Amino acid sequence: MDSEPGRPPRHVDSGQWLAQFTDRLLVVCPRCGSRALVVPRPDLEKARFFSELMFMPRRLVCTACGATDEWEARAEGAALMGAAVGGTEDPFFRQPLWLQTRCVGHILWAYNEKHINELGAFVGAVLRQRVASPTTAMVPRIPVWMKRADNRSEVLAGLGALRALADRSSAEQRSDAAYRRGDRPRSRGSALFRGGPY
C-alpha cells in the first residue's frame, strides 16, 4: 500500500495468488486444539514457482502436544492432484484455520500474518488499483462484504483480532470461530500433468 502525506492510502494489486500464502499455515491441532503449523517438508528444495506450493509435501507439527502428520499430493493416472485453496480449512490436512473471527455477520480468516497484512493493505486503502488478471489474483476474489467502504472499520478491527490470535497458541486462547465448517473449494483441487503436455 502506498501512502504519502496528504494523499489517501492506495493499494496496487500485484496479482498475488492465495496459494502464495500457503508457505506457512496456522491451524488448529487435530489432537489437542492448540495452534499447530503446516509447512512444506524441510528436506525439500524451495519452490521455484508459487504454483508448486499446492503440490509440495507438507508437514503438520504441534509444539503443544507433539502431534505430527504428513501430506503428499496423490496421483491419478498421469496427473498429480494438489490442494485447492480457499475456505476456513487448511488446503492440505483440512484442519480449521487458527486465524478465524466473526466479522459483520461473516467469518474473517487468514492463513498467516503475511496474509493478514495483505488483506489489511487492501481493506484500508481508499484507492484500489488493479494491474493483474482478475482470473488468477487473490484480490478480485475477496468477498464483497470485505470490499464495502461501510464495513472498512469493522473488517480492519477483525484483522486486528486475527493479528492478536497469531500471537496465541494454547487451546484455551483459540477463537470461538475456529472450527470445521465444510466450506471447502472444489474437491478435486489443482492438477499437474506428468510426462506430457499441460
Main-chain dihedrals φ then ψ at residue 185, nearest 5 degrees: -75, -175
Residue of 73, 80, 37 lying closest to 57 (CA atoms): 73
Q: Which residues of 57-88 are buried (b: 16+ CB within 10 A; e: fewer)?
A: ebbbebeeeeeebebebeeeeebbbbbbbebb
By the 8 A CB rule, do 89 and 95 touch? yes
pLDDT of the chain, 198 residues: tens digit per residue = 555 555 568 787 777 889 889 999 999 999 999 999 999 998 888 878 777 888 999 999 999 999 999 999 988 888 888 898 999 999 999 999 999 999 999 999 999 999 999 999 999 988 877 766 666 678 888 999 999 999 999 999 999 999 999 999 999 999 999 988 877 665 445 554 433 332
- The whole-model pTM stands at 0.86
Ramachandran class of 11: left when φ > 0, alpha when ψ lies in -120 to 50, beta otherwise: beta
- The phi-psi region of residue 15 (left if phi > 0; otherwise alpha if psi is between -120 and 50; otherwise beta) is left
CA-CA distance, 48 to 147, in Å (whole number)?
Answer: 32
